[in-house]
């Protein structure tokens, strides 16, 4: 696994701050992403140099907006972004990774077993099928769909109370505008754009936070 991108400079500083003494676990996870993750099509090969900055750290900093001891459902986990990043950074959290594709579930299971993560459960299925199966204080999602469609597959999991943390880019404000009617339909008390990792990352993570 010698291909793993090196962790240096500001990324190294951020990784120490976010993962602490669990940084070796995060490094092992990145090794998986850089090898079998690329080989099996979970991550594009062009992402190799940016695995830390653009993916793992970008996801892991979201933990600063999650309360101690919370349960988190990660919808459309794919390569474990952000679910596994959060599970590694925060052993106090209980993560449920929800992923419909079998090949991704197999990969996630292999990684969780290799890292010995005891705070992770994996469900193979669509998010709609997880409603009633999962008890979550938070739902997370990254690169799943535009907010207007994402609300239908994430908010029902919360059963009327909790928080959606959707990792978004520059289109966040526009997506909120387009989802106004649906946010009202679900009784969202507050919808806002927040940042994560402002003091750690060169490009902080943009998150749409919807509170029920």
Q: For 62-211, CATH number? A: 3.40.50.150
The mean pLDDT value for 177-182 works out to 97
Instruction: Find, among 10, 48, 18, the residue nearest to 30 by Cα.
Output: 48
CA 124 to chain centre: 16
Please give the Cα distance from 170 to 163 (Å, whole number). Answer: 21
pLDDT band at 1 (very low <50, low <70, confident <90, very high): very low
pLDDT at 2: 43
pLDDT, one tens digit per residue, over 116-140 is 999 999 999 999 999 999 989 999 9
Percent of the chain at pLDDT > 70 equals 99
pLDDT, average across residues 56-73: 98
Say which residues have a Cβ less than 8 Å from residue 43's Cβ, sequence separation at least 6: 33, 34, 37, 51, 55, 79
Asked if 82 and 140 touch (Cβ cutoff 8 Å), the reply is yes
Query: pLDDT tier at 60 (50, 70, 90 boundaries)?
Result: very high
Q: How many CB atoms lie within 10 A of CB 188?
A: 17
pLDDT at 3: 67
Judged against a pLDDT cut of 80, whether residue 205 lies above it is answered with yes
Report the pLDDT averaged over residues 148-160: 96
- 34-59 pLDDT, tens digit per residue, is 999 999 999 999 999 999 999 999 99
Mean pLDDT of 55-69: 98
Tens-place pLDDT, residues 85-103 = 999 999 999 999 999 999 9
Sequence-distant (≥ 6) Cβ neighbours of residue 67 within 8 angstroms: 137
Per-residue model confidence (pLDDT) at position 101: 97
Choose among 68, 61, 110: nearest CA to 86.
Answer: 61
According to the model, what pLDDT value does residue 83 have? 98
Residues 8-17: contacts with CB within 8 Å, 24+ apart? 10/201, 10/202, 11/52, 11/53, 11/57, 13/200, 14/57, 14/61, 14/197, 14/200, 14/201, 15/52, 15/56, 15/57, 17/200
């Amino acid at each position: 696994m010698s291909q793993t991108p090196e962790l240096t400079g500001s990324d190294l500083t951020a990784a120490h701050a976010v993962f602490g003494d669990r940084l070796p676990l995060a490094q092992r996870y990145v090794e998986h992403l850089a090898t079998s993750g690329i080989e099996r099509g979970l991550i594009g090969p062009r992402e190799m140099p940016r695995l830390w900055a653009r993916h793992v750290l970008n996801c892991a900093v979201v933990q600063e907006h999650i309360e101690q001891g919370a349960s988190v459902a990660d919808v459309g986990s794919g390569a474990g972004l952000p679910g596994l990043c959060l599970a590694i950074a925060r052993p106090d959290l209980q993560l449920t990774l929800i992923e419909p594709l079998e090949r991704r579930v197999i990969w996630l299971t292999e990684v969780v077993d290799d890292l010995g993560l005891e705070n992770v459960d994996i469900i193979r299925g669509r998010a709609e099928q997880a409603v009633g199966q999962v008890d979550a204080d938070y739902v997370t999602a990254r690169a799943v769909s535009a907010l207007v469609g994402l609300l239908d597959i994430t908010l029902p999991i919360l059963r009327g109370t909790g928080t959606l943390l959707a990792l978004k880019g520059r289109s966040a404000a526009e997506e909120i505008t387009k989802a106004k009617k649906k946010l009202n339909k679900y009784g969202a008390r507050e919808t806002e754009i927040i940042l994560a990792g402002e003091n750690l990352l060169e490009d902080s993570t943009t998150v749409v936070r919807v509170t029920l």
